């Protein structure tokens, strides 16, 4: 939450999406994507009084279009305006996540080395878990140093499904479910 002038709070615009992995909440400052969370995701914010539902706000339509292209397999890297709110350390970690290509993975230790903090693996893990823009800032591509599937704020089944979609995991090992897809939700209530 950012403040404009003393005592006034800037609005947060939001919309919801349907996804084969569960409902999604997106937030924007009116220009940049500020959040994308699956329902029930750890650290997802509660919709507050200053939140305004507005599917027409930027960059929701473009975000949906790119998520649909990703789900169809025709998009490998997202190109969206992002405004991620976090500490300087979290920002460094999230920037490193953006460098992990589709179909690739990294470990917490590799990310710690990449940001010149080789002893900060646990702090890297905490920052990864606080990523406010799931899927687009690809925290699902982070595995344990031994290649094992480790925590995901959106839940391990979602992480498995995203990695299977990208060809990292054998899709047959992931529980049967519909193919990855994203779509709009009819405008209604909060």
Q: Which conformational region is residue 64 in: left (phi greater than 0), alpha (psi within -120 to 50 degrees), or beta? A: alpha
CA distance 44 to 69: 25
Instruction: State the DSSP string of 48-112.
Output: -TTEEE-TTSBTHHHHHHHHHHHHHT--SS----B-----HHHHHHHHHHHTS-TT--EEHHHHH
- Which of these is catalytic: 15, 19, 102, 139? 139
- Three-class SS state of 125: helix
Any catalytic annotation for residue 139? yes
The residues carrying an active-site annotation are 139
């Amino acid at each position: 939450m950012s403040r404009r002038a003393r005592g006034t709070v800037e609005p947060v615009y939001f919309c919801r999406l349907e996804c084969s992995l569960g409902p999604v909440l997106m937030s924007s400052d009116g220009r940049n994507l500020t959040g994308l969370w699956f329902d029930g995701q750890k650290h997802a914010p509660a919709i507050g009084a200053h939140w305004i539902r507005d599917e027409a706000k930027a960059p929701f339509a473009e975000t949906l279009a790119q998520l649909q292209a990703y789900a169809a397999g025709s998009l490998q890297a997202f190109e969206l305006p992002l405004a991620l709110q976090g500490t300087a350390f979290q920002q460094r970690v999230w920037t490193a996540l953006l460098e992990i290509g589709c179909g690739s993975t990294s470990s917490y230790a590799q990310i710690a080395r990449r940001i010149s903090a080789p002893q900060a693996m646990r702090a890297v893990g905490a920052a990864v878990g606080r990523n406010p823009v799931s899927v687009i800032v690809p925290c699902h591509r982070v595995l344990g140093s031994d290649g094992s599937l480790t925590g995901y704020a959106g839940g391990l089944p979602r992480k498995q499904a995203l990695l299977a979609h990208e060809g990292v995991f054998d899709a047959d090992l992931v529980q049967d479910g519909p193919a990855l897809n994203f779509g709009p939700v009819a405008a209604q209530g909060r």
